Amino acid sequence: MPWLSYRKALNRALGDELARDPAVFVLGEDVRVAVSNVTAGLLGRFGPERVLDTPLSEQAFTGFATGAALAGMRPVIEFQIPALLFLAFEQIVNQAHKFSLMTGGQTAVPVTYLVPGSGSRAGWAGQHSDHPYALFAHAGVKTVVPATPEDAYGLVVSAIRDDDPVVVFAPAGALDVRVDVDFATLAPVPLGVGRVHREGSDVTVVAIGHLVHDALAVADELAGEASVEVFDPRTVYPFDWDGLAGSVRRTGRLVVVDDANRTCGIAAEVLATAAERFDLSAPPARVTRPDGAVVPFAPALDRAVQPDRDQLATAIRKVLKD
């Protein structure tokens, strides 16, 4: 079977949806020259009316996409840097996200906001290394964080077909992941449905995005000590609480690893919901970036603020002892 990389999965999903539905078009800064490689080849296949380069004004082209969606189109915006979402937050959360409610369901705003390279990348420093998916989950915007190439493909396809705005964070730490896959098996992945990557009986680890791969590695390392189940929510809003409940029923213990700041993060929400809804055999634990962390430029300091495998292993051992 052929290899599929995460980047190519994003590219393939865009190409397949552009071919399937003439209402789909892609826009963003430098998408025609495919600076991020995610839109590579799309201009040649679909032409300049379906692949649009935009001016350097995120507020302007995000608002433009909302109008296009209201007129029946399905825009996909590429944001090359996650912090650009801060500039367009009002257009996404206060406009696109609320139009359907404010019109009593008479309108739909099917815009997909794609961030290929969210989180830390070596040398990108503080203003380019955010992972702000919790902001959009807090606001109730559909928000997905795929961990694998096949899920990246399936979730992007579902996001484009969804009638609501969807933000897709493609973690920088996952972009180089490759899998051996039969392309014929690639399919849409429903929003709001998690995935158990590894079954276990002693502790559930909820891992967000690229940290799924770290969690699987730690589960292998601890195989002689504990049976670790790895749960990937895939969609942080809506979150698959029923899927997580089933996992925790099997294990009785919970650890969350989340590459975002500690306060008000997805990890905090998972622990709070677990305390309200689940019967746990021990207090849960979370592994995150430090509180209020800003990623430094220096590589060693950058790595120091990232959740790592040693921290995760320590957290797992702690909940197993309690």
Residues 167 and 156: their CA atoms lie apart, in Å, by 9
CB 236 within 8 A of CB 208: yes
Question: Coil, strand or helix: which one is 211?
Answer: helix
CATH number of this structure's domain 195-321: 3.40.50.920
On the CB side of 270, CA atoms within 13 Å amount to 35
Residues 138 and 148: their CA atoms lie apart, in Å, by 24
Q: Is 228 a residue whose pLDDT tops 90?
A: yes
210 is catalytic: no
302-312 confidence digits (pLDDT tens): 787 889 999 99
Secondary structure of 102-151 as H, E, C letters: HCCCCCCCCCEEEEEEECCCCCCCHHHCCCCHHHHHHHCCEEECCCCHHH
Give pLDDT, residue 126. 65
Do the domains 195-321 and 3-184 match in fold?
yes
- Give me the chain's average pLDDT, please: 94
Q: Is 36 a residue whose pLDDT tops 80?
A: yes
Residues 10 and 151: their CA atoms lie apart, in Å, by 10
Token readout for 36 is: 């991020």
Residue of 128, 197, 210, 213 marked active site: 128
Q: Enumerate the domain spans of the chain.
A: 3-184, 195-321
152-174 confidence digits (pLDDT tens): 999 999 999 999 999 999 999 99
Q: Is 185 a residue whose pLDDT tops 80?
A: yes
CA separation (Å) from 213 to 20, 120, 169, 197, 217?
32, 16, 16, 9, 6
What's the pTM?
0.95
Whole-angstrom Cα Rg for the chain: 19
Cross-strand bridge partners of residue 39:
none
Identity of the amino acid at 21: D
Phi, psi for 82 (deg, rounded to 5): -60, -30
CB 6 within 8 A of CB 175: yes
- Of 71-85, 158-172, 182-196, 290-304, which range is least confident? 290-304
Superfamily name and number for 3-184: Thiamin diphosphate (ThDP)-binding fold, Pyr/PP domains (3.40.50.970)
Q: Is 296 a residue whose pLDDT tops 80?
A: no
